[in-house]
Amino acid sequence: MGGYPLPMSRLTRFATTGVVAATSATLITGCSSKETFGFGFDPGLSSVNDITLPLWQGAWIAALVVGAFTAGLIFWAMIFHRKKDENFPKQTRYNIPTEIAYTIIPFLIVAVLFGYTAVAETNITKISPATSTAVHDINVNAIQWSWQFNYKEAGPGTTITGTPANPPVLYMPLGERVRFSLTSSDVDHGFWIPAFMIQMMNLPGVENHLEFSANKLGTFPGRCNMLCGRNHSQMLFTVKVVTPSEYATYIANLKVGQK
């Protein structure tokens, strides 16, 4: 470029291309949900989605606002502060108000996002008392390289153990809360159901707890999201959300199978 200013027509085309690309990316990302701009997630699939999705959307909106503002400053500098002649430009140092603003604004953004995140995390990790009979209990144990599911209502001898070749199926009753006890037999694993916007670690010697309800019938993929070894990518399972009566039938069949 040799230090000469870009022709205005080229600047205009460059700016227009950037705006179109950013708008297209936003629309493509949001189109994954027909009901709302889920940015890759759908509302109403689980009780966790109802809590997490607004936070997820708010974080994206904040990012887009900050990105648009930053892009505006960049284009403003490109257009109005281009090199106009061979004179050395005036140098400005120590603009105290600007430096204060650059310090306070990011701090406020992070503080607000942290506050909403803390509230959402508290609600998501809330567990019903152990004596509650309105909650189904399922033990989830991670092993290299699959999962073990034990339904408390079916008894201790009814553990479903999967393999990489035959991933197990985790049954959940529609609209009813399920309390998960998460453990690991060997290394760190991660119990992850992407569609439900939920993840918690399975740790050796530690029992983590997670409780939520699934609010839509269907099957949803689950996997380990911790790099736990050579067959990590094969640690898959399927979540099958069924009606409460179908869930009761499944539990009854597990009990019969043990007799």
Query: What would you measure as the largest C-alpha separation in the chain, in angstroms?
Result: 93
The burial class, CB within 10 Å (0-12 / 13-18 / 19+), for 38 is buried
pLDDT of residue 40: 63
pLDDT of residue 257: 66
DSSP secondary structure string, the chain?
-TTPPPPHHHHHHHHHHHHHHHHHHHHHHHTT-SSS--TT--TTSBHHHHHHHHHHHHHHHHHHHHHHHHHHHHHHHHHHSS--SSSPPPP----HHHHHHHHHHHHHHHHHHHHHHHHHHHHHT----TT-SSSEEEEEEEETTEEEEEEGGG-TT--EE--SSS--EEEEEBT-EEEEEEEESSS-EEEEEGGGTEEEEE-BT--EEEEEEB-S-EEEEEEE-S--STTGGG-EEEEEEE-HHHHHHHHHHHHHHH-
pLDDT of residue 25: 41
pTM: 0.71
pLDDT of residue 26: 39
pLDDT of residue 1: 41
* 172 CB neighbour count, 10 Å cutoff: 23
pLDDT of residue 92: 75
What does the mean pLDDT of the chain come to? 82
Domains 8-124 and 136-258 share a fold: no
Alpha-carbon gap, residue 4 to 249, rounded angstroms: 77
Domain boundaries, the chain: 8-124, 136-258
The CATH class that applies to domain 136-258 reads: mainly beta
Kindly report, residue by residue over 146-196, the tens digit of the pLDDT: 999 999 988 877 899 999 999 999 999 999 999 999 999 999 999 999 999
The CATH class that applies to domain 8-124 reads: mainly alpha
Alpha-carbon gap, residue 179 to 228, rounded angstroms: 24
Ranges of the chain with pLDDT below 70: 1-40, 131, 133, 257-259
Alpha-carbon gap, residue 141 to 208, rounded angstroms: 11
The distance in angstroms from the start CA to the end CA of the chain is: 82
| Encoded tokens for 230 | 């050579």
